[in-house]
Chains A and B, each alone.
Chain A
Amino acid sequence: MLTVTVFLPTVAALLLAVGLVRGDRNIRWFAAAVAVADLLLSVVVFVLFQPGGERFQLIDRLDWINTETVHASYLLGVDGISAPLVMLTGLLGLCAVFVSFHISHRVREYFIWLFVLQTAVMGVFTALDFLLFFLFWEIELVPMYLLISTWGTGRREYSAMKFLMFTILGSAFMLVAIVAVFVSAGVGSFDMTRLLEPGGALDASRAALPMGALFWLFFVAFAVKLPTWPVHTWLPDAHTDAPTAGSVMLAGVMLKMGGYGLLRINAGMFPEQLQAFALPIVALGVISVLYGAVVTLRQTDLKRLIAYSSVSHMGLVLLGLGSVAAVGGALTDAGLTGAAMQLFTHGTITGLLFVAVGVMYEKTHTRYIPDLGGLANRMPLVSGAFLIAGAASLGLPLLSGFVSELLVFFGGFRAFPILTILAVLGIILAAGYILWMLQRTLFGLRPARWDELTDAGPVELVPIALLVISIVAVGVYPAWLTDVFRDGLEPIVSGYNTGLAGIAR
C-alpha cells in the first residue's frame, strides 16, 4: 500500500520519460490524473491508520542489504506523526500539478521532475530505515535544483545552487551522524523502529560519538531544512525564484521534512538531549519568529514576503519542540502536538498563499506590491482564497493556523514563559504584514492596467478549493487531525513522563 503510494509518481515519471504520452496537453492531463490518484491513495493511507493501534502501521518490508557489515532493509511504515504528512504531500502534490498548467516550455521534463520530487518527499515521511531515509532525503535535491534553475524566474540559477549547497551541507552532517549511530556498538542495523523503542538499541556509553554530538549533527541537518535562523538564507531566494509549483512543494512539504526529522529523530531517539538543550533550541526558534517577522514587514515582493513569513512560522515548531523542558512531572503533549500541527497547517496555508500568488503573477506578471492594488474586484475567488490563507497565517480562530499556534504557546509557556511571550509578539507582527499585504494588493485603488484581469480558471480553482477546505476543516474541528498526531507523539511524551527518557541512559 505504502509502496504504491510512494512510487506511483515515479512510475508516472518513467512512463513520461519513455515517451508514452505525447503532446503537451496530454501530458498535463496525465499528470493531473496521476496527482489525483496519489492524493486518493494518501487519503486512504491516512484513513487506514488507526490511532490507538500499533505504533507503526501499514508496514512494507523487504530485506535489502544483508552482508556482514551492513544491514539495511527496505522498510516503509506510518505512525501518527507521518500519516497526516503523507496526506499533506499528496494534497500539495496535486496542487503543484494543477497550478503548473501554464508551463509551456519543456513540459515533459517539468512533470518528470515534479513526480520524482513527490516520491522523494513521500519516501522521507514513510521510510523507517535510516539508509532509506537518507536516500529519499538526498533524492529530492536534484529535481528541486532542476525545477528552480530551469523553470524559475529572477536569479534562478543562483537560488537553485544556494538551495542545493545549503541542504547538502546539512545532510552531510546527518550522514556523519547516521554512520556514527550505525557503527555504535550494539546497533548494527539501520532500523529506526528498533532505535525508537524505549530502551532501544542506542546505548550512550557505547555510542561512537557523544550523544550530544549526535543530537546536534542531526539538528543541523534539520535546522537547515526547517529553516532556522541563521541558516535560513537559502529560503527567500529559493522560494521567490522557483516556479509556483516549486514554491508550493518547497514551502508546503519540503520544509516539513526538517520538522518531521526533528520530531522523529531528535525528539524520538535523543529525548534526554532534547530536554537538556531545549533552551538554545527555543531561543533559536524565537529569534526565527521575530527576525523572520520583522524582515517580512519590509518586503515588497509578494513571494519573498510569504517566504520570510515561512521562516517566522517555522520558528514556532522549535518552540513546540522545546516544550519538553517543562518541569514538574506532567508533560502534556500540547507543545509537541502544536509543533506537528504547525507542520500540517503551515503546509496548507502557505501552499494556498503561493497558489494564489502564482495565479496573480500569471495574470499580472508582477509580484511587486506597490504596483498592485484593488485586485479583489477583478479576481474575487482568488482574492477570497488569499484572504482566507492570510487570515489563517496570522492565526485567526476557526482557521487552522490558530489551532497549531495555540497548542505551541500552551506547551511553550509551561517550559519557557518569557520566550513564549516573545514568540506571541510574532503574531502581532504577522497580523501587521499579512493585513498590510492584503490591503495593498487586494483592496484600495486599482491601477488602470489591471482593469481587464480575469479570475482563476477551473483548473486553478481545484487546488484553491481543496486547500481552503482543509484550512477551514482543521480550524473548525481540529480533533480529527490532532488525535492522529497525539497518537504518534504519545510514546515520546509518556517516555518523558515515566522518566525512562526513551533510550539513552
Chain B
Amino acid sequence: MNNNFLLLLPEFIVTGLAFVVLGLDLFLPERRKWVLPIVAVVGLVVALVVSLRYLWGVSDSLYDGVIRVDGYALFFKAFFIALGGVVVLVSVDFVRRNLEHPGEYYGILLFTVVAMMLLAASGELLTAYISLELLSFGLYVLVAYDRYNAKSNEGATKYILLGAFSSALLLFGISQVYGLLGTTRFDEISSALSSADALSPGLILGIALIIAGLGFKVAAVPFHMWAPDAYEGAPIPITAHLAVGSKAAAFALVLRLFAEAFMPIVEQWQILLIGLAVITMLLGNLVALAQRNLKRLLAYSSVGQVGYLLMGVAALAATGSGGIMLHLVAYAVTNMAAFLCLAAIYNITGRDDIAGMAGVARRAPLVGLVFAVSLFSLAGLPIFVGFTSKFYLFNAAAAQGLLWVAGIAIFSSLISLYYYLQVVRQLYIEPAEDAAPIPVPRLTLGVLGALFAGMVGLGVYPAPLMEAVQYASDALF
C-alpha cells in the first residue's frame, strides 16, 4: 500500500519539536532557559499552520485505516495544538518561579500533545490505546513534577495507580471485543456489529469494560476518585492540562468510537451512558459545594462538566455530535482562563484556596474580571460561551428524546452557580487582607485578554465555530 507520510506532518513536527526542546535544554545555560517555551510555542504555531494549510479537505487514512486523516481529526489536531500552546503560555511564569528542569517539562508536554493528536486520528482500538498510554505516561510525570511537594507526589501516585488499573480494564475490554469480532478497526467493528447475531454477553462485557476504562480517563463518576487529589497536587498549568486536554482527547476517542464503531448497537450502551451522565452531573456538582480549595473545586466542577458531555454522547445521532465538540471547545477556553487566573494569583500570593481569593478583583482588576467571567461561563450564564455550548447540548439531548436528562443537567448547572458564586463573592465583595496590587506579567494579561475575547465573542456570535464543528462532525458520519 502507498502510505503518504506527509499526512502525518503535523505529528512529526510536534514530535521533532519535543526532541528539539529536550536537546536545547541540554546545551542551554540556566539563565537562557527562557528560550524554551518560546521555541515550543513557535513550533506549535508552525505545526498548526501546516495542518490547516495542507490537511484541509483531506479525507484519507494510513496503514489501511489505522490512522485517519479527515475533517474530524483535523479539527481536534488544531484544537490540541492550540491547547498545548496555551498551556505552554500558562506555564511560562509558573515554571520559572516554582519548578526545576523546564526542558523536560516542555518536552514531555509536547509529547502529550502528540499523543492527543494521534488519539483523535486513531482508526482502530490499539492505536487509540497506545496514544492514550503515551498521554497518560506524560501526564503521570507532569503531575508529579513538583518533586518536593508532598501533595504533588500523592496526587501523582493515586493517578498512576488508578491510571494503570484503568488501562488494564481498557485493554481487557479491547481484547474481549477483538476476540469476539475478530477486528480492532472501527469501521470493521461497525460492520461486524450490524449483523444481528453479533451481540453476545461477552461483547457487552467488553464494551462495558471499555467504557469503564475510558470513564477513568475522563473522571466520570464512579471512576473519578483520583481527580480531586491529582488536580490539587499537580502544578497549576498541569491541572489545566489534565482538566482540559486529557479529557478532550479522551472524548475525541469516545466520539469516534461510539459514533463509528458501536453505533449499530446504540440501544445497548445508550442507557449505560445516560446513567453515568446523570450520576456524574449530580455528584460532581453536589460534592463541589463542600470544597474549600479552588483546585479541588475546579476538579469537581470538571467532573460535573463531564456529565454534560456524557449526556451528549448518549444522545449521539447524525446531528448530535456537534454539541459535544462545541462544548469541548467552550469548556477548554473557559477552564484555561480560570486556571490561568488562578496561576497568576498563586504565583504572587501563594494561595490556591477560595478564602485566599478575597479582594483579588481590586488587587488585579483584569484577572478578577476574567476569572469571574470564566466562572459565570462555566455556570452557563448567558452571553458567555458556556451558555451557548450547554444550550446546544441540551437541545441535542432533547431532540433525541432525552429531555428529562437535559432537565437534570439544567438543575445541576443551577447547583454549580452557587459554588462559582462563592468564588466570585470572594473576588468582588470580600475585602482583601493585604491590599497590595498583584503584579501580573504582560504575557499572562495578553493570554487572558484573548481568552476573554473568546468567551464573550463565541458566546455572542458562535456561528464560525459552529461551522467548523459541523465540518468536523460531517467527517464522522
Contact = CB atoms under 8 A, between A and B. Distances in A.
Given A142-B376, A183-B403, A208-B398, A169 B414 contact: yes
B470 A68 contact: yes
Most buried by A among B376, B407, B467, B470: B407
A138 B467 CA distance: 26
A69 B322 contact: yes
Contact of B466 (A65, A139, A165): A65
B376 A176 contact: no
Contacts of B398: 179-180, 182-183, 208
A230 to B, nearest CB: 19
Interface in B375-422: 376, 381-383, 387, 391-392, 394-396, 398-399, 403, 406-407, 410-411, 413-414, 417-418, 421
Interface string A49-76: 0000000000000001111111000000
B319 A68 contact: yes
A183 B421 contact: no
Secondary structure class of chain B's binding surface, majority of residues = helix
Contacts, number: 83
B399 A69 contact: yes
B417 A176 contact: no
Interface stretch (A143-151, A392-400, A421-429): A143-151
Interface of A is mostly: helix
B414 A142 contact: no
A157 B422 CA distance: 11
Interface in A132-184: 134-136, 138-139, 141-142, 145-146, 149-150, 157, 161, 164-165, 168-169, 172, 175-176, 179-180, 182-183
Contacts of A134: 382
B428 A66 contact: no
B454 interface: no
Contacts of A176: 403, 406-407, 410
Interface in A89-135: 131, 134-135
Contacts of B399: 69, 183
Interface residues of A, number: 34
A238 to B, nearest CB: 15
B436 interface: no
Nearest to A146: B428
Contacts of A150: 428-429
B425 interface: yes
Given A67-B470, A149-B425, A157-B425, A179 B403 contact: yes
A209 interface: yes
Given A69-B395, A179-B395, A183-B399, A139 B383 contact: yes
A135 B382 contact: yes
B462 interface: yes
Given A70-B392, A176-B406, A183-B403, A149 B381 contact: no
Contacts of B418: 161, 165
A273 B166 CA distance: 53
Nearest to B399: A183
Contacts of A142: 376, 381
Contacts of A139: 381-383
Nearest to A174: B410
A67 B463 contact: yes
19 contacts: A67-B322, A68-B319, A70-B391, A70-B395, A134-B382, A138-B381, A139-B382, A139-B383, A146-B428, A165-B414, A168-B414, A172-B413, A175-B394, A176-B406, A176-B410, A179-B395, A179-B398, A179-B406, A183-B398
The 7 A-B pairs of least Cβ separation, nearest first, read A135-B382, A183-B398, A138-B382, A172-B410, A176-B407, A183-B399, A179-B398
Interface of B: 319, 322, 376, 381-383, 387, 391-392, 394-396, 398-399, 403, 406-407, 410-411, 413-414, 417-418, 421, 425, 428-429, 461-463, 466-467, 470
Given A135-B387, A145-B421, A179-B395, 20 more contacts: A65-B466, A67-B470, A69-B399, A70-B392, A131-B391, A136-B382, A138-B387, A139-B382, A139-B383, A141-B381, A146-B428, A161-B421, A165-B418, A172-B410, A172-B411, A175-B394, A180-B398, A180-B403, A182-B398, A208-B398
